[in-house]
Amino acid sequence: MRAPKEEDYLSGNLTAMIDVVFQLIIFFVCTISMQDQSKNTGIDLPMAPHGPVETKELREIIIDVNKNSSISMARTPLSYTELLGILKHAVAEAQAHGAQVPIIIRGDANARHEGIKAVMDACATAGIYKIKFAALKEKAG
């Protein structure tokens, strides 16, 4: 019986592996572009040049409040009761895993305080107290 040569090990069919790599690349490109589209770009964030730079957490919920005090998540308009239902569901799911639900409120610089207060009230009613406010560190330019 002869010993296997090095070229016997290298002579495999790589077509299937290359196909899987291309599918993964397409998946990640589509996922990243969908995350960017979910943010409401119509919100003019206020400036906070001396604020800390935060990293994104896995379970965070981003709530947008536009200049008309309308509430939305992922560009989907929500009423107060719909928002409260979503937050209560998120809290119940997070508690099952022993985690918290961090909230980021993206309020327009010209938004009335009543819209942001409504979001904060919904968070408090749902039992969420870890709330952050989004602001721009530098003006994009």
pLDDT tens-digit series, residues 122-141: 999 999 888 888 877 666 55
Is 34 a member of any domain? Answer: no
Q: What is the CATH number of the domain that holds 108?
A: 3.30.420.270
**Domain assignment of residue 111, given as a range:** 61-133
pLDDT recorded at residue 5 = 62
DSSP state of 8: H
pTM to 2 decimal places: 0.60
Is 78 a member of any domain? Answer: yes
3-state helix, strand, coil in the chain (%, to 5): 45, 15, 45
Is 29 a member of any domain? Answer: no
Type and span of the H or E element at 65: strand 61-65
* Residues 109, 44 contacting (CB under 8 angstroms): yes
How many separate domains does the chain show?
1
Is 84 a member of any domain? Answer: yes
CA torsion 46→135→66→120, rounded to 10°? -120
pLDDT recorded at residue 44 = 65
Q: Does residue 3 have a pLDDT over 60?
A: yes
Is 21 a member of any domain? Answer: no
Residue-wise pLDDT tens digits, 15-72: 777 888 888 888 877 777 655 555 555 666 666 665 555 555 556 888 988 888 889 8
Q: Does residue 14 have a pLDDT over 90?
A: no
Residue-wise pLDDT tens digits, 71-126: 988 888 999 999 999 999 988 888 888 888 888 888 888 888 888 899 999 999 99
Is 74 a member of any domain? Answer: yes
Is 127 a member of any domain? Answer: yes
The torsion angles phi and psi of 83, rounded to 5 degrees, stand at -60, -45
